[in-house]
Amino acid sequence: MKNTFELEHVGINTDNAGEAEQLALLLCKLFNLEPRHGQKSEFAGNYFEYMKSPFLGKNGHIAVKTNYIERAVNYLSTVLGVEFNEESAKRDAKGNLKAIYLKEEIGGFAVHLVQK
């Protein structure tokens, strides 16, 4: 089985909830996307997430989904030398890894892997 990587969403940091909602609604209007409200963010469709307050990454974060997150982490770390922020790891009730951020930002964006 092949491990694939796909864009899940781009998270964009804003200063407050009002700005997050305004920007998300603008993208929804421009591109006919459905708004989705969350506790910490506002979504424009599935691909744009506006954070209600600054979060990881100078500019925001990029979420990359993969069908085998443990294998992806192993590959990226052992073959490519990528380091991960272990404190950011999210696990389900059984202890399976669901999400984890890379240690370093790329172009001002934090990057995290999420289980498909």
The per-residue pLDDT for range 53-74, each reduced to its tens digit, is 999 999 999 999 999 999 999 9
Taking CA atoms, 101 is separated from 20, 33, 49, 87, 108, in Å, by 22, 27, 16, 9, 14
Residue 1 has pLDDT above 60, yes or no: no
Confidence of residue 4 (pLDDT cuts 50, 70, 90): confident
Say what percent of the chain tops pLDDT 90. 95
- Residue-level pLDDT at 3: 65
For the stretch 17-34, pLDDT in tens is: 999 999 999 999 999 999
Instruction: Show the CA angle centred on residue 2, arms to residues 67 and 70, nearest 5°.
Output: 45
How far is 35 from 80, CA to CA, in rounded Å? 37
